[in-house]
Amino acid sequence: METGTVKWFNNAKGFGFICPASGGEDIFAHYSTIQMDGYRTLKAGQTVNFSVNHGPKGNHASLIVPVDNGSKPKQERDSTNA
């Protein structure tokens, strides 16, 4: 997997672009490939890990995992409610 930063993401349209940390062309990001619970979205400036597929319309992320989604891991949330 690669690491990058979300350039922009349009919630209404469900897509945006990721700037790879290694440089090169921006990577297309679709909401359906975001790996998270609940409403799947990304924020500009957010760090993500992703896999890249090369298609006829260019590069696109096939798997997006937010690194800093601003919430505590599930185990940490559960232990604070005990």
CATH (domain of 27): 2.40.50.140
pLDDT at 16 over 70: yes
Count of domains for the chain: 1
* Helix runs in 21-70, H state only: none
CB 66, CB 34: distance < 8 Å? yes
Structure tokens at 82: 């005990």
CB 73, CB 23: distance < 8 Å? no
Arithmetic mean of pLDDT, 19-26? 94
pLDDT at 9 over 70: yes
Q: Say what the pLDDT of residue 57 is.
A: 87
What residue numbers bound the domain in which 10 lies?
Answer: 2-80
Distance, in Å, from the CA atom of 33 to the CA atom of 35, rounded to the nearest integer, reads 6
